[in-house]
Amino acid sequence: MNIASLVVRAKPEDFPVVEGFLGQVPGVELQGKSVETGHIVVTVEDGEGWSVTDSILKVNLGPCVQGVTLAYEYTDEGLEDQEA
């Protein structure tokens, strides 16, 4: 399992375009937004046929997106190989 949280920056007047686009990116879920600061918070989860990295890149290149900050990332890959 891989999960990430992103802060997407956009002009508030562009939020409808950005939110519509985010809804089409695999594994992306809208968590909150602030029109006052121009921030949209999303989570990204991997799934069958796509990776978190692919979805993050797609969000970053989305229409009207001014920038993306990776706020949190978790992976459980490789945990079974570690000793307790």
DSSP string across 53-84? HHHHHHHHTSTT--EEEEEEEEE-TTGGGS--
Distance of CA 83 to the CA centre of its chain: 31
Per-residue pLDDT of 16-27, as tens digits, reads 999 999 999 999
Per-residue pLDDT of 28-82, as tens digits, reads 999 999 999 999 999 999 999 999 999 999 999 999 999 999 999 999 876 666 5
Q: What is the CATH number of domain 2-76?
A: 3.30.70.920
Assessment of whether the complete model's pTM goes beyond 0.75: yes
Higher pLDDT, 84 or 3: 3
What is the Cα–Cα distance from 43 to 61, expressed in whole angstroms?
16
What is the Cα–Cα distance from 71 to 78, expressed in whole angstroms?
22
